[in-house]
């Protein structure tokens, strides 16, 4: 039968159902909805269920500790070493229950990873000897579940027809003894009223006295009686006692057997007398049976038949008599019978036929009314069972949806391949199965601009180019700081402060630091073309960190260009960033002769980019050309900006 029995207070059936569903997801069969069987009469049924389970989970709460049934079930399970207590809500346990081994389910709302649930699952594994495997099929078969549902439906109806239908559908049920008792209670006739005292019978004549007999032999001797013969006194006394004991035992045995034989003969005589009365089928024959067997097996049927025969005789007398009033009364009674039957047929309900039988217990349609009541009772029982089955299925479906959503939430929060694979293993056709498979495809496809898309040789150079680009970006940031210091030096020169100068020639104008002989330190120069350099100087040339801003003009048709980074002897050389047309295109990496030479990254205006080793702004050596969406356009060995050898992953 089931692995686990759950005991709980009916008001907390929601939590019990949620726990039962989770346990079934881990491969355990569960009895939990037996709370519908309330009352002392079902205690034996509950006890038999607990006897057949491996573990009993008791859900303690302030309501549960006040429940006589929950405490009784917990004590019964504890005596069998099957008890697994769990705390739904903080409460003081009844005397005799230890809180130290309690699994805490406070605040649990169905999460599989809840610490209290995990500890409870571990306790269940230890108690049942079965591992908790997510997605495993419960050991309880569908027929066993159907039996429990049918039993609850029959218990709810609690009618002879409902229990009979249950036994027909489940002949091998473990509840047969209980149901047999219930059916006998429901079918037992009411206690009959005591019969009127019988008329005093004439005093019978005393039986004739037996004729005196002449004694021809001595009377029998009893234990302790002395024999007239003194020579055999002691032997006769001993033998007489033994014989008497044997005779008494024999009489007891024969008497018991005789009683059984008498009862059997009495039952057969009762049946024979009833058969004779039934064959005659007259009121006098049935009365004779009642006189002879006032406690016989058929006394109720005999009385009913006498009543029916008397009513029939009365009706016949009224019909055949000359009294018109009696004839009209009989006709009116028959009309009322038919009218009541017509109403019952129209309503066609159990109560409607009951009303008919209450008014016409032996009416013309009484047997048909009882037959229809049995049919309606059976149909209502099946309908109640089906409704209960649908309710349980709906509850399980709701719990399944919640468990599915909870598992998906966990998988998304972890966001790893194994998390999504675990979700699909448990819910291959779940509510989020398509989302999980889409997430797995994301792990199968490399990210845009991923190095995993490249040949190992190309990958190594591109990785170095990206490292160089990071260094260049940091250098450019330092160059912008140097330009800000140069701006401050210009302000000092304009205010006439010492160690700064303002010089102007035919081609340029300078503001900044000087040592009188040459430009040195931080300063700014503006050329008549509109170009401007801000940063460090040495020997009257840009040297160190600085920013050159090229203005648009005849010599610059690419839009505004800025070079931020390292300068040597007036040339843009070292790590830096070259921005073209207000950032539409950028070159980041190592520069020489004001061109990208060495490792770097060249991003185009359309979003595509080149990464690798450069010479005069073109790929030269190993490198890759990317599309705007991060896919490999061309990769391999380059010469003067042209691919000469393709290398694929």
**What is the domain-level CATH number for residue 33?**
3.40.50.10140
- Domain containing residue 428: 331-445
- Characterize 285-313 residue by residue with b for buried, 16 or more Cβ atoms within 10 angstroms of its Cβ, and e for exposed: bbebbbeebeebebbebbeebbeebeeee
Instruction: Tell me: do 364 and 381 sit in the same domain.
Output: yes
| Spatial distance between the Cα atoms of 304 and 370, rounded to a whole number of angstroms | 16
pLDDT digits (tens, 9 = 90+) for 335-346: 899 999 999 999
Residue 497 lies in a domain: yes
Distance CA 533, CA 490 (A): 12
Give 573-603 pLDDT, tens digit per residue: 999 999 987 778 999 999 998 899 999 999 9
Asked which of 146-155, 426-435, 441-450, 475-484 is least confident by mean pLDDT, the reply is: 146-155
* Pair 529, 396 in one domain: no
- CATH code assigned at 535: 2.60.450
Residue 319 lies in a domain: no
User: How confident is the model over 303-342, as pLDDT tens digits?
Assistant: 888 988 888 887 766 666 655 666 678 788 888 999 999 9
What integer pLDDT is reported at residue 257 of this predicted model? Answer: 45
Residues 402, 492, single domain; the answer is: no
User: Are 487 and 636 part of one and the same domain?
Assistant: yes
Spatial contact of 443 and 411, defined as CB atoms under 8 Å apart: no
Q: Enter the pTM of the model.
A: 0.37
Q: Is 181 inside any structural domain?
A: no
**Boundary residue ending a domain (139, 164, 194):** 139
Is there a single domain that holds both residue 488 and residue 623? yes
| Residue partners of 198: CB distance under 8 A and separation at least 6 | none
pLDDT digits (tens, 9 = 90+) for 358-395: 999 988 899 999 999 999 999 999 999 999 999 999 99
Q: Are residues 632 and 572 in the same domain?
A: yes
Q: Is residue 135 part of a domain?
A: yes
Residue 202 lies in a domain: no
Which is nearest to 420 in space by CA: 440, 403, 406? 440
Q: Confirm whether 164 is domain-assigned.
A: no
Q: In the chain, how many domains are there?
A: 4
Confidence band for 210, pLDDT divided at 50, 70 and 90? very low
| Domain assignment of residue 323, yes or no | no
* Final residue belonging to a domain, choices 124, 139, 154: 139
Residue carrying the six token digits 């004001």:
594
| 8 Å CB contact between 476 and 465 | no
- Alpha-carbon dihedral angle through residues 113, 118, 120, 124, given to the nearest 10 degrees: 120
Residue 562 parent element (H or E): strand 561-568
Q: How confident is the model at residue 234 (pLDDT cuts 50, 70, 90)?
A: very low
- 120 shares a domain with 81: yes
Q: Please indicate, yes or no, if residue 244 is contained in any of the structural domains.
A: no
Query: Are 430 and 372 in the same domain?
Result: yes
Does 487 lie in the same domain as 440?
Answer: no
Choice between 463 and 226, residue whose per-residue pLDDT is larger: 463
d(CA 337, CA 45): 45
Do 344 and 275 sit in the same domain of this protein?
A: no
**524 in the same domain as 428:** no
- The larger pLDDT score, comparing residue 139 to residue 257, is at 139
pLDDT at 189: 55
> Is residue 8 located within the same domain as residue 52?
yes
What phi and psi, each to the nearest 5 degrees, are found at residue 434?
-65, -35
Which of 88, 120, 139 is the C-terminal boundary of a domain? 139
Contact 293, 266 (CB under 8 A): no
């Amino acid at each position: 039968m089931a692995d686990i029995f759950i005991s709980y207070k009916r008001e907390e059936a929601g939590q019990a159902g949620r726990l039962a569903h989770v346990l079934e997801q881990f491969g355990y069969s569960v009895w939990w909805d037996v709370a519908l069987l309330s009352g002392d009469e079902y205690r034996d049924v509950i006890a038999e269920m607990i006897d057949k389970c491996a573990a009993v989970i008791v859900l303690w709460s302030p309501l549960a500790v006040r429940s006589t049934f929950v405490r009784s079930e917990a004590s019964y399970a504890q005596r069998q070493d099957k008890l697994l207590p769990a705390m739904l809500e903080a409460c003081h346990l009844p005397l005799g229950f230890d809180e130290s081994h309690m699994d805490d389910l406070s605040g649990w709302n169905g999460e599989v990873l809840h610490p209290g649930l995990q500890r409870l699952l571990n306790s269940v594994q230890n108690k049942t000897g079965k591992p908790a495997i997510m997605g495993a099929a419960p050991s309880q078969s569908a027929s066993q579940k159907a039996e429990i549902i049918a039993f609850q439906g029959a218990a709810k109806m609690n009618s002879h027809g409902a229990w009979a239908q249950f036994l027909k559908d489940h002949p091998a049920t473990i509840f047969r003894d209980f149901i047999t008792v219930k059916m006998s209670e429901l079918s037992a006739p009411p206690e009959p009223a005591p019969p009127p005292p019988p008329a005093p019978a004439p005093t019978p004549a005393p039986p004739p006295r037996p004729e005196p007999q002449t004694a021809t032999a001595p009377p029998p001797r009893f234990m302790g009686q002395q024999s007239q013969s003194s020579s055999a006194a002691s032997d006769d006394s001993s033998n007489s006692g033994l014989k008497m004991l044997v005779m008494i035992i024999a009489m007891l045995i024969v008497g018991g057997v005789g009683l059984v034989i008498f009862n059997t003969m009495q039952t057969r005589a009762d049946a024979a007398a009833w058969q004779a009365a039934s064959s005659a089928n007259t009121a006098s024959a049935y009365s004779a049976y009642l006189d002879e067997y006032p406690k016989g097996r058929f006394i109720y049927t005999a009385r009913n038949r006498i009543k029916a025969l008397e009513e029939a005789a009365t009706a016949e007398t009224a019909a055949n008599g000359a009294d018109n009033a009696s004839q009209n009364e009989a006709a009116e009674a028959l009309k009322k019978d038919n009218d009541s039957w017509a109403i019952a047929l129209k309503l066609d309900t159990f109560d409607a036929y009951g009303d008919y039988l209450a008014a016409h217990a032996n009416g013309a349609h009484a047997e048909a009314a009882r037959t229809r009541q049995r049919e309606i009772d059976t149909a209502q029982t099946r309908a109640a069972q089906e409704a209960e089955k649908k309710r349980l299925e709906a509850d399980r479906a709701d719990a399944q949806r919640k468990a599915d959503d909870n598992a998906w939430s966990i998988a998304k929060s972890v966001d790893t391949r194994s998390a999504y694979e675990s979700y699909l293993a448990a819910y291959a056709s779940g509510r989020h199965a398509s989302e999980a498979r889409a997430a797995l495809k994301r792990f199968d496809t490399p990210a845009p601009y991923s190095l995993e898309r490249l040949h190992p040789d190309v990958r190594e150079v591109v990785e170095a180019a990206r490292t160089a680009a990071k260094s260049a970006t940091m250098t450019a940031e330092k160059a912008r700081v140097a330009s800000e210091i140069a701006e401050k030096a210009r302000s000092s020169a304009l205010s006439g402060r010492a160690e700064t100068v303002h010089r102007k020639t035919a081609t340029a104008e300078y503001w900044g630091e000087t040592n009188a002989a040459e430009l040195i330190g931080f300063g700014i120069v503006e050329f008549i073309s509109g170009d401007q350099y801000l940063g460090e100087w040495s020997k009257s040339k840009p040297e160190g960190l600085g920013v050159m801003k090229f203005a648009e003009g005849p010599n610059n048709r690419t839009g505004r260009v800025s070079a931020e980074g390292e300068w040597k002897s007036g040339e843009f050389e070292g790590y830096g960033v070259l921005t073209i047309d207000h950032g539409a295109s950028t070159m980041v990496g190592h520069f020489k002769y004001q061109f990208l030479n060495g490792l770097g990254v060249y991003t185009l205006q359309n979003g595509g980019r080149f990464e690798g080793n450069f010479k005069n702004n073109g790929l030269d050596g190993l490198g890759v050309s990317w599309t705007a969406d991060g896919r490999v356009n061309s990769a391999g060995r380059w010469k003067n900006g042209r691919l000469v050898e393709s290398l694929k992953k």
